[in-house]
Protein backbone atom coordinates (compact mmCIF):
# COMPACT_ATOMS: atom_id res chain seq x y z
CA UNK A 1 0.00 0.00 0.00
CA UNK A 2 1.20 3.50 -0.84
CA UNK A 3 0.30 6.24 1.69
CA UNK A 4 0.63 9.99 1.10
CA UNK A 5 1.15 11.98 4.30
CA UNK A 6 0.31 15.68 4.26
CA UNK A 7 1.22 18.52 6.61
CA UNK A 8 -0.72 21.47 5.17
CA UNK A 9 0.29 25.09 5.54
CA UNK A 10 -0.11 28.11 3.31
CA UNK A 11 3.58 29.01 3.47
CA UNK A 12 5.03 25.48 3.23
CA UNK A 13 3.06 22.26 2.87
CA UNK A 14 5.00 19.11 3.55
CA UNK A 15 4.28 15.84 1.78
CA UNK A 16 5.70 12.35 2.20
CA UNK A 17 5.02 9.08 0.44
CA UNK A 18 5.67 5.71 2.04
CA UNK A 19 5.03 2.12 1.03
CA UNK A 20 3.80 -0.46 3.48
CA UNK A 21 3.97 -4.22 3.26
CA UNK A 22 2.55 -5.78 6.39
CA UNK A 23 4.29 -4.08 9.31
CA UNK A 24 7.21 -2.93 7.13
CA UNK A 25 7.39 0.64 5.89
CA UNK A 26 9.71 2.15 3.33
CA UNK A 27 10.32 5.61 1.98
CA UNK A 28 9.16 6.47 -1.53
CA UNK A 29 9.52 10.26 -1.74
CA UNK A 30 9.06 13.50 0.19
CA UNK A 31 9.06 17.22 -0.44
CA UNK A 32 7.67 20.61 0.36
CA UNK A 33 5.44 22.99 -1.55
CA UNK A 34 6.24 26.61 -0.79
CA UNK A 35 4.05 29.50 -1.87
CA UNK A 36 5.10 33.07 -2.54
CA UNK A 37 3.98 35.22 0.41
CA UNK A 38 3.80 38.24 -1.92
CA UNK A 39 1.37 36.53 -4.31
CA UNK A 40 -2.39 36.97 -4.04
CA UNK A 41 -4.25 34.31 -2.09
CA UNK A 42 -5.95 32.71 -5.14
CA UNK A 43 -2.57 32.27 -6.86
CA UNK A 44 -1.01 30.75 -3.73
CA UNK A 45 -3.88 28.31 -3.30
CA UNK A 46 -3.81 27.39 -7.00
CA UNK A 47 -0.06 26.69 -6.81
CA UNK A 48 -0.57 24.48 -3.75
CA UNK A 49 -3.44 22.59 -5.40
CA UNK A 50 -1.48 21.97 -8.61
CA UNK A 51 1.63 20.80 -6.75
CA UNK A 52 -0.24 18.33 -4.52
CA UNK A 53 -2.28 17.08 -7.50
CA UNK A 54 1.02 16.46 -9.33
CA UNK A 55 2.39 14.48 -6.38
CA UNK A 56 -0.78 12.37 -6.31
CA UNK A 57 -0.55 11.84 -10.07
CA UNK A 58 3.11 10.84 -9.92
CA UNK A 59 3.01 8.43 -6.96
CA UNK A 60 -0.60 7.12 -7.22
CA UNK A 61 -1.12 6.60 -3.48
CA UNK A 62 -3.81 4.20 -2.27
CA UNK A 63 -4.85 6.64 0.45
CA UNK A 64 -3.76 9.86 2.10
CA UNK A 65 -3.42 11.03 5.67
CA UNK A 66 -3.55 14.62 6.89
CA UNK A 67 -3.10 16.36 10.19
CA UNK A 68 -6.31 17.72 11.64
CA UNK A 69 -6.53 21.49 11.85
CA UNK A 70 -5.66 23.05 15.19
CA UNK A 71 -6.66 26.44 16.51
CA UNK A 72 -3.97 29.09 16.71
CA UNK A 73 -4.25 32.06 19.00
CA UNK A 74 -4.24 34.20 15.85
CA UNK A 75 -7.54 33.81 13.91
CA UNK A 76 -5.89 34.94 10.65
CA UNK A 77 -3.32 32.15 10.92
CA UNK A 78 -6.05 29.59 11.59
CA UNK A 79 -8.00 30.81 8.56
CA UNK A 80 -4.95 30.59 6.26
CA UNK A 81 -4.18 27.09 7.55
CA UNK A 82 -7.78 26.04 6.95
CA UNK A 83 -7.71 27.39 3.40
CA UNK A 84 -4.47 25.55 2.61
CA UNK A 85 -5.85 22.38 4.19
CA UNK A 86 -9.04 22.69 2.15
CA UNK A 87 -7.05 22.95 -1.08
CA UNK A 88 -4.95 19.90 -0.18
CA UNK A 89 -8.07 17.90 0.64
CA UNK A 90 -9.70 19.08 -2.61
CA UNK A 91 -6.71 17.78 -4.58
CA UNK A 92 -7.16 14.42 -2.86
CA UNK A 93 -10.89 14.49 -3.56
CA UNK A 94 -10.29 15.28 -7.24
CA UNK A 95 -8.25 12.06 -7.45
CA UNK A 96 -10.82 9.99 -5.49
CA UNK A 97 -8.27 9.52 -2.74
CA UNK A 98 -9.61 8.66 0.72
CA UNK A 99 -8.05 10.79 3.46
CA UNK A 100 -7.61 9.74 7.08
CA UNK A 101 -7.28 12.64 9.50
CA UNK A 102 -5.15 12.44 12.64
CA UNK A 103 -4.56 14.88 15.48
CA UNK A 104 -0.98 16.17 15.68
CA UNK A 105 -0.58 14.79 19.20
CA UNK A 106 -1.67 11.34 18.06
CA UNK A 107 0.83 11.43 15.17
CA UNK A 108 3.65 12.45 17.52
CA UNK A 109 2.70 9.76 20.02
CA UNK A 110 2.57 7.08 17.29
CA UNK A 111 5.95 8.05 15.84
CA UNK A 112 7.98 9.38 18.78
CA UNK A 113 6.17 7.91 21.79
CA UNK A 114 4.99 11.20 23.25
CA UNK A 115 2.32 13.59 22.05
CA UNK A 116 4.41 16.59 23.11
CA UNK A 117 7.40 15.87 20.86
CA UNK A 118 9.07 18.83 19.17
CA UNK A 119 9.77 19.05 15.42
CA UNK A 120 13.44 17.97 15.76
CA UNK A 121 12.41 14.87 17.71
CA UNK A 122 9.86 13.96 15.01
CA UNK A 123 12.45 14.40 12.24
CA UNK A 124 15.00 12.29 14.14
CA UNK A 125 12.55 9.46 14.64
CA UNK A 126 11.46 9.57 11.00
CA UNK A 127 15.14 9.12 10.06
CA UNK A 128 15.35 6.12 12.40
CA UNK A 129 12.20 4.55 10.96
CA UNK A 130 13.21 5.27 7.36
CA UNK A 131 17.01 4.84 7.42
CA UNK A 132 19.14 6.55 4.82
CA UNK A 133 16.56 9.05 3.57
CA UNK A 134 17.13 12.68 2.77
CA UNK A 135 14.31 14.75 4.23
CA UNK A 136 13.40 17.90 2.27
CA UNK A 137 12.73 19.90 5.45
CA UNK A 138 10.84 20.02 8.73
CA UNK A 139 7.42 20.09 7.06
CA UNK A 140 8.31 17.08 4.89
CA UNK A 141 9.44 15.25 8.05
CA UNK A 142 6.09 16.03 9.67
CA UNK A 143 4.26 14.76 6.57
CA UNK A 144 6.26 11.52 6.63
CA UNK A 145 5.36 11.19 10.33
CA UNK A 146 1.67 11.56 9.41
CA UNK A 147 2.03 8.80 6.80
CA UNK A 148 3.90 6.53 9.24
CA UNK A 149 1.29 7.11 11.96
CA UNK A 150 -1.47 6.40 9.44
CA UNK A 151 0.20 3.10 8.49
CA UNK A 152 -0.19 2.07 12.14
CA UNK A 153 -3.48 3.80 12.99
CA UNK A 154 -5.46 4.05 9.76
CA UNK A 155 -7.78 1.45 8.30
CA UNK A 156 -6.26 -1.29 6.19
CA UNK A 157 -7.38 -0.87 2.61
Q: Which of 36, 62, 68, 139 is catalytic?
A: 139
Instruction: Tell me the backbone φ, ψ of residue 39, rounded to 5 degrees.
Output: -75, 155
Quick check: is 67 catalytic? yes
Q: Which of 32, 36, 46, 67 is catalytic?
A: 67
What are the Cα distances from residue 10, in Å, to 21, 28, 134, 144? 33, 24, 23, 18
Q: Which of 7, 32, 142, 150 is catalytic?
A: 7
Determine the angle formed by the axes of helices 104-111 and 138-153, rounding to 10 degrees. Answer: 80
Q: Which of 116, 114, 49 is nearest to 88 (CA)?
A: 49
Quick check: is 36 catalytic? no
Quick check: is 150 catalytic? no
Catalytic residues: 7, 67, 139
Amino acid sequence: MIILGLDPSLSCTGWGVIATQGARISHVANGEVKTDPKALMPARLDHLYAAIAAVIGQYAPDRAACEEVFLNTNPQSTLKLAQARGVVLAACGRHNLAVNEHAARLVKKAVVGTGRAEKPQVASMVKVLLPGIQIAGADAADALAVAIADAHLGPRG
